[in-house]
């Protein structure tokens, strides 16, 4: 009975009311500041009432333009998108070939290793049959053969002739500057900040890099797309913000291999059914499209933001 | 001494107990509602005590099935997964070729540019040697040559003959409908919602798209995998939820190039050691597997969710 | 007038001060524990005052080393990075070929299907012209032909001869163990935990997997890079933490196809301009570089962490 009475009690603190203008005004001021913080900062600035979701997005890209080279040995050669854009699929990361070392007509055979401290030899005793150097080009046959008239090196089983990649061409590469044929629009930080069509040179310039250097040695350029939307507003206020930034470490001191390059090969068969290949050490700019942002909104369904508008990149290597 | 006495004081508010059944009941009701909110909503529904981590996952995919085409010029041709699945590696994004424009036996040479406003010419004066149009196919030689009996265009150095991609084949593509040979299971929204084996037509239908249209023009289809797990429960309660959604913008008005296509080439060498290539403008459906979710749990070690169960996609192009 | 007076009132609870050493000490102890929790756990351990951002990063990878195989039919063959690294671009996911089934000189023609329950036939009546089995290799021609002297199967239009992938080579694959030529450093959990140069065998061992098994059947290995930085400290205290984990499900019971493999083809043209291809069913280890972490800091600008230091992976297949 006492317990039930206990349940229907109401307990409250005894309060004193001080009727003093100074004390009262200070109290009201403090109350006002707290309300200002909650409404002004927490609700309006921080939007803490919104539930933030990471952006779920997909990216399609498209590269356009034609290049021209006149390399001794290869002759005049026109490069179109199927030649210089690797891989071709137009995903969020794509590569534009700007420089290269070509080693044509390689065949599985044996040839003298490139000369360095561990491959130069005097006689067959200096070479070990079957050994393979991590930084070498093949499997040693155990023979010591003439690399040049003065130098002998260990012979290796490999794709011969070996690639000599010490002389990187310092080509004069001109990104296209003529823009008269662009469809619809072209990205410009000031006049057209939402247009998803970019020029190579503009992107490199926005990242505050030198196009000529980056094209010769290669590098990774991030295309950062910020979809920090405020879904309190109607959807059409929510546009992407583009920025560009070099993502690889161009400082040779901190880096194992500055620049960006990779090797790939095109395989052929001769009329005698022997496999040959053309090895290409490709230097160029890899573009990584990175989408981020918190598309804040009041419900929890994951946002799917479509960044599917084709990014078009313009001409790569101009004729001399 | 006074200070020390101050430290061992206990200060508490003076309270009044009101023994009134109505006031007391209302007070208890309010207390009950607050407890209900904390336990019921914050703890049980929102699970705010759990530390949420983003899902770290890896995806492997596998495509299966054989297609058949009988294109004039190319003849009867059977397409298997090594032919139509690009790239072959089975990563989180893959492409299934459903339509294409083939330009065989291209060679580095010169040929008349495709006619349009800027390439049609009357004499050599209308063409500029060395100039390159962003939307053109090569580098102008400065000559004005016959494109057809009635039209003259500027000659370009390029991979010739040029691709003519105005006539996109409107093929009749049948996604496989026979399911008798499936291993283990097949995804079905109602009967088998956790099975990671999907049919092409089901995925496109789930995204509420028309397969025939999407296969002809190409598109990007997102396979959204939601791993919003509740790790309070044993691990086997945590299964993926699959959903499908078209990710590219199919509205031609807002989009630079509706649909999804890209160009790639297969390179050959003739018996005279001249490089030729077959250029393929590939239309098809790119599938982007997107894993998301908050695998909430009570500790902070990042969750590694393996979505490694091979996704198998069924036949692509059926025989007529 | 009463209202205004109401605005400058100050209302506070009436308090009682109990001067009792025991009650006072307990009260101060509870106060001390609360302060300890807020400063010690919430601020120092959890760093709840920091605003966490997800890591925005880009990854470049590089594979090095030479392999050697002596397969009957193919002869002695040296494999370099352009041969065994697929795709070549050095992105966050790459594949190292460690085992394969090669089917050379396939051509578009017709040949007997591989024998199984649904393809073995007695006469042409058992075969349906134009039908295509999801798990088959082509389009049936409607004929029943000799597969071997004792078995007849339905003939299919396909890339012939068909691949027979039942005998997976159990090769003896030796990851390189000689480390004398490494540039700068080599990853070691204890002595060199920040070096981004890894050996194949070390990564597989760190994931507690058997290299020989994984190389034969294939698998997916995650290279997890944790950038959980504390940006209260200067930037150079923030280094990546590497860990390795097998990401695919190697349990054959729960998995449609254990291991990791895919098919790709190299296309050739014969002197008669007929397309042939070499089909390769590639088994190997796919490495997925996964960057995560909360690079906590006091402002909200998204952090761009460059994981651009080239990851170098060492020799793959050593000579016998």
> 3-state SS of chain C?
CHHHHHHCEEEEECEEEEECHHHHHHHHHHHHHHHHHHHHHHHHHCCCCCECCECEEEEEEEECCCEEEEECCCEEEEECHHHHEECCCCCCEEEEEEEEEEEEEEEEEEEECCCCCCCECCCHHHCCCCCECCCCCCEEEEEEEECCCCCEEEEEEEEECCCCCCCCCCCCCCCCCCCCCCCCCCCECCCECCCCEECHHHHHHHCCCCHHHHHHHCEEEEEEEECCCECCCCHHHCCCEEEEEECCCCCCCCCCCCCCEEEEEEEEECCCCCEEEEEEEEEEEEEEEEEECECEECCCCCCEEEEEEEEEECCCCCCC
In this structure, of A232-236, B208-212, C34-38, C98-102, the range with the lowest mean pLDDT score is A232-236
* Separation of alpha carbons B43 and C238, rounded Å: 35
Could you report how far apart the first and last alpha carbons of chain B are, in Å? 103
> Do the chains contact at A58 and B290, CB–CB below 8 Å?
yes
Average pLDDT over chain A reads 76
Q: Which residue has the higher pLDDT, B150 or B316?
A: B150
Q: Is C281 annotated as a binding residue?
A: yes
> Do the chains contact at B66 and C136, CB–CB below 8 Å?
yes
Residue A108: list chain C partners with CB under 8 A. Answer: 76-78
User: Would you say B296 and B231 are in contact if contact means Cβ atoms under 8 Å apart?
Assistant: yes
User: Would you say B147 and B100 are in contact if contact means Cβ atoms under 8 Å apart?
Assistant: no
Element (H, E) at A294: none
Cβ of residue C91 closer than 8 Å to a chain A Cβ = yes
Predicted ipTM beyond 0.90: no
> Do the chains contact at C220 and B80, CB–CB below 8 Å?
no
User: Is pLDDT above 80 for A301?
Assistant: no
Task: Compare all CA atoms of chain C with the CA of A261 and give the residue at the minimum distance.
Answer: C89
Interface of C with A in 267-286 (CB under 8 A): 268, 270-271, 276
* Separation of alpha carbons B172 and B212, rounded Å: 7
Cα-based distances in Å from A58 to A270, B97, B223, C296: 42, 19, 11, 27
User: Is pLDDT above 50 for B246?
Assistant: yes
Candidates C27, C132, C290; nearest CB to B66: C132
User: What is the pLDDT at residue C180?
Assistant: 42
Strand-pairing partners, residue C103, are: C279
Cis peptide before A218 (omega within 30 of 0): no
Cis peptide before C101 (omega within 30 of 0): no
User: Is pLDDT above 60 for A144?
Assistant: yes
In this structure, of A138-142, A271-275, B232-236, the range with the lowest mean pLDDT score is B232-236
> Do the chains contact at B60 and C248, CB–CB below 8 Å?
yes
Cβ of residue B188 closer than 8 Å to a chain A Cβ = no
pTM beyond 0.90, yes or no? no
Mutate which of B262, B265, B268 to test chain A, going by most A C-beta atoms within 10 A? B262
Q: What are the backbone dihedrals phi and psi of residue C215, each rounded to the nearest 5 degrees, phi first?
A: -70, -35
User: What is the pLDDT at residue A231?
Assistant: 58
Residue with tokens 């023009």: B217
Cβ of residue B82 closer than 8 Å to a chain C Cβ = yes
Mutate which of B69, B302, B311, B312 to test chain C, going by most C C-beta atoms within 10 A? B302
Report the neighbours of A using a cutoff of 3 or more CB pairs below 8 angstroms: B, C
Task: Compare all CA atoms of chain C with the CA of B85 and give the residue at the minimum distance.
Answer: C264
User: Is pLDDT above 80 for B105?
Assistant: yes
Residues B219-224 have a mean pLDDT of 86
Residues A160-175 have a mean pLDDT of 76
B141 CA: distance to closest CA in chain C (Å): 30
Task: Compare all CA atoms of chain C with the CA of B54 and give the residue at the minimum distance.
Answer: C292
User: Would you say C222 and C238 are in contact if contact means Cβ atoms under 8 Å apart?
Assistant: no
User: What is the pLDDT at residue A180?
Assistant: 42
Cβ of residue B181 closer than 8 Å to a chain A Cβ = no
Q: Which residue has the higher pLDDT, A243 or B177?
A: A243
User: What is the pLDDT at residue A50?
Assistant: 56
User: What is the pLDDT at residue C146?
Assistant: 93
Q: 3-state SS string over chain B?
A: CHHHHHHCEEEEECEEEEECHHHHHHHHHHHHHHHHHHHHHHHHHCCCCCECCECEEEEEEEECCCEEEEECCCEEEEECHHHHEECCCCCCEEEEEEEEEEEEEEEEEEEECCCCCCCECCCHHHCCCCCECCCCCCEEEEEEEECCCCCEEEEEEEEECCCCCCCCCCCCCCCCCCCCCCCCCCCECCCECCCCEECHHHHHHHCCCCHHHHHHHCEEEEEEEECCCECCCCHHHCCCEEEEEECCCCCCCCCCCCCCEEEEEEEEECCCCCEEEEEEEEEEEEEEEEEECECEECCCCCCEEEEEEEEEECCCCCCC
User: What is the pLDDT at residue A233?
Assistant: 61
Task: Compare all CA atoms of chain A with the CA of C68 and give the residue at the minimum distance.
Answer: A139
User: What is the pLDDT at residue C179?
Assistant: 43
> Do the chains contact at B262 and A64, CB–CB below 8 Å?
no
Cβ of residue C178 closer than 8 Å to a chain A Cβ = yes
Q: What is the mean pLDDT of each run of 10 residues along chain C (320 residues)?
A: 71 83 88 89 70 67 75 73 80 82 90 89 88 78 92 92 81 54 67 77 86 85 77 61 81 62 89 88 86 57 42 40
Q: Residue A122 corresponds to which tokens in the numbers above?
A: 């005097």
Cβ of residue B93 closer than 8 Å to a chain C Cβ = no
Instruction: List the one residue out of B19, B37, B35, B13 whose CA is nearest residue A7.
Output: B19
Q: Which residue has the higher pLDDT, C307 or B172?
A: B172
pLDDT tens by residue, B1-30:
566 667 777 888 888 888 888 888 888 899
Residues A142-160 have a mean pLDDT of 92
pLDDT > 90 in chain A, percent: 13
Question: How many CB pairs lie under 8 A apart between chains A and B?
Answer: 156
Cβ of residue C319 closer than 8 Å to a chain A Cβ = yes
CA dihedral A84, A86, A88, A93 (to 10 degrees): -130
pLDDT tens by residue, A62-99:
777 777 777 666 677 888 888 887 887 777 888 888 88
User: Would you say C316 and C284 are in contact if contact means Cβ atoms under 8 Å apart?
Assistant: no
User: What is the pLDDT at residue C238?
Assistant: 64
Q: Residue A315 corresponds to which tokens in the numbers above?
A: 């001409």
User: Is pLDDT above 50 for A107?
Assistant: yes
User: Would you say A314 and A200 are in contact if contact means Cβ atoms under 8 Å apart?
Assistant: yes
User: Is pLDDT above 60 for A143?
Assistant: yes
Residue B103: list chain A partners with CB under 8 A. Answer: none
Cβ of residue A305 closer than 8 Å to a chain C Cβ = no
> Do the chains contact at B263 and A88, CB–CB below 8 Å?
yes
User: Is pLDDT above 90 for A195?
Assistant: no
User: What is the pLDDT at residue C174?
Assistant: 59
Average pLDDT over chain B reads 76
* Separation of alpha carbons C203 and C313, rounded Å: 10
Mutate which of C29, C249, C256 to test chain B, going by most B C-beta atoms within 10 A? C256
> Do the chains contact at A271 and C268, CB–CB below 8 Å?
no
Residue A202: list chain B partners with CB under 8 A. Answer: none
Q: Residue A269 corresponds to which tokens in the numbers above?
A: 């068969």
């Amino acid at each position: 009975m006492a317990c039930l009475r206990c349940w229907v009690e109401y307990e409250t603190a005894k309060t004193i009311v001080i009727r003093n203008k100074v004390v009262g005004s200070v109290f009201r001021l403090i109350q006002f500041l707290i309300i200002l913080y909650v409404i002004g900062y927490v609700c309006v600035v921080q939007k803490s009432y919104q539930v933030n979701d990471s952006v779920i997005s997909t990216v399609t890209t498209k590269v356009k333009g034609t290049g021209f080279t006149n390399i001794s040995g290869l002759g005049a050669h026109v490069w179109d998108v199927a030649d210089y854009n690797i891989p071709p699929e137009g995903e969020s990361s794509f590569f534009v070939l700007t420089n290269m070392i070509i080693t044509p007509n390689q065949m599985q055979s044996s040839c003298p290793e490139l000369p360095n401290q561990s491959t130069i030899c005097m006689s067959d005793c200096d070479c070990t049959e079957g050994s393979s150097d991590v930084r070498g080009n093949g499997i040693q046959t155990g023979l010591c053969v003439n690399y040049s008239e003065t130098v002998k090196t260990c012979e290796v089983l490999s794709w011969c002739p070996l690639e000599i990649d010490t002389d990187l061409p310092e080509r004069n590469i001109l990104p296209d500057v003529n823009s008269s044929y662009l469809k619809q629009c072209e990205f410009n930080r000031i006049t057209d900040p939402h247009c998803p069509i970019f020029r190579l040179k503009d992107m490199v310039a926005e990242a505050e890099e030198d196009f000529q250097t980056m094209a010769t040695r290669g590098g990774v350029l991030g295309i950062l797309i910020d979809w920090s939307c405020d879904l309190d507003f109607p959807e059409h206020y929510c546009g992407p913000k583009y920025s560009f930034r070099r993502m690889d470490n161009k400082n040779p001191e901190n880096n194992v291999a500055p620049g960006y390059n990779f090797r790939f090969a095109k395989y052929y068969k001769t009329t005698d059914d022997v496999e040959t290949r053309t090895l290409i050490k490709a230097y160029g700019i890899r573009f990584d499209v990175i989408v981020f942002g918190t598309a804040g909104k009041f419900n929890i369904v994951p946002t799917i933001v479509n960044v599917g508008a084709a990014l078009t990149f313009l001409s790569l290597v101009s004729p001399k």
